[in-house]
Amino acid sequence: MAGVKGQVQKRGVERRRAMVDAAIELFARHGVRGTGVAAVAERAGVTPSALIHHFGSKDALVRAVLEEADRRALERLSAAPDAEPTLAQAFEWFVRDAEHTAAAERELAALHTTLTAENLEPGAALHSWFRDRGRALRAHLVALFTRAAADGSARADLDPAVLAVETAAFLEGAHLLWLLDPEQVDLAAVHRSYFAGLAARLRP
């Protein structure tokens, strides 16, 4: 019985992943507003009722897509997600992530940027998700800069909270400019330049 239960659970995980993958593809191609639940279900090879059973609503499916994008980014980390990287390691990861995004994840990046803009108002369906994600990113950056100041790898007279907002603003802005004009904006090169400059500013 345990083996059968495990197989059923595995099939459920695989089916859910297929639905998320189908949603990523269709959302990127037609936009969230232009893609219905039925279209995602058909692309994934399931019924619309099965999709709703797994996610509950289209908004929940969109949230699952965004969480999958974050999961993929964490997988690209060379260390475990709960590790505490050094300043150099973190900056290197941001550059590598930009290289990967430019090469293979433009659709997800565009979807993320579009949905952020569509959910700026507090009453929007995904407003709290994006707000909390932004807060979490800034908190990680504050911790990173605080550790660097404490271990002597960064100057102690800089404000970690201000640096965190500045870095987060760069990340969001660089992606937006690249999405608008990829022929003129080299996402990886801009990241390499920015983080090299930031490392120089922070050097004791």
> Distance between CA 204 and CA 34 in Å, rounded?
51
Whether the per-residue pLDDT at 109 is higher than 70: the answer is: yes
Is the per-residue pLDDT at 92 higher than 60?
yes
CA gyration radius for the chain?
19
Residues 158 and 172 in one domain: yes
Distances, alpha carbon 196 to alpha carbons 90, 92, 96, 165, 203, in Å: 12, 10, 13, 18, 11
181 and 86 share a domain?
yes
Mean pLDDT of 132-145: 95
CATH number of the domain residue 127 falls in: 1.10.357.10
Helices (H), the chain: 2-30, 37-44, 48-55, 58-75, 87-104, 106-118, 127-151, 160-180, 187-202
Confidence (pTM): 0.81
Kindly report the CATH number assigned to the domain that includes residue 8. Answer: 1.10.10.60
Highest mean pLDDT among 25-34, 121-130, 154-163: 154-163
Give residue 78's pLDDT: 54
Residue 49: per-residue pLDDT: 93
Q: Does one domain contain both 146 and 53? A: no
pLDDT bin (cut points 50, 70, 90) of residue 5 is: low
Whole-number Cα distances in Å, 106 to 28, 68, 98: 9, 15, 10
Q: Does 38 score more than 80 pLDDT? A: yes
- Are 16 and 112 in a shared domain? no
- Based on the domain organization, do 83 and 52 belong to the same domain? no
Do 141 and 193 fall within a single domain?
A: yes
Q: Over pLDDT 70: what percentage of the chain?
A: 91
pLDDT at 158 over 90: yes
Helix (H, G, I), strand (E, B) or coil at 88: helix
CB 160 within 8 A of CB 145: yes
pLDDT classification of 31: cutoffs 50, 70, 90: confident
Residue range 71-87: mean pLDDT, rounded: 70
Number of domains in the chain: 2
Confidence of residue 202 (pLDDT cuts 50, 70, 90): very high
Rounded to an integer, what distance in angstroms lies between the CA atom of residue 137 and that of residue 186? 23
Task: Give me the domain span that covers residue 84.
Answer: 78-204
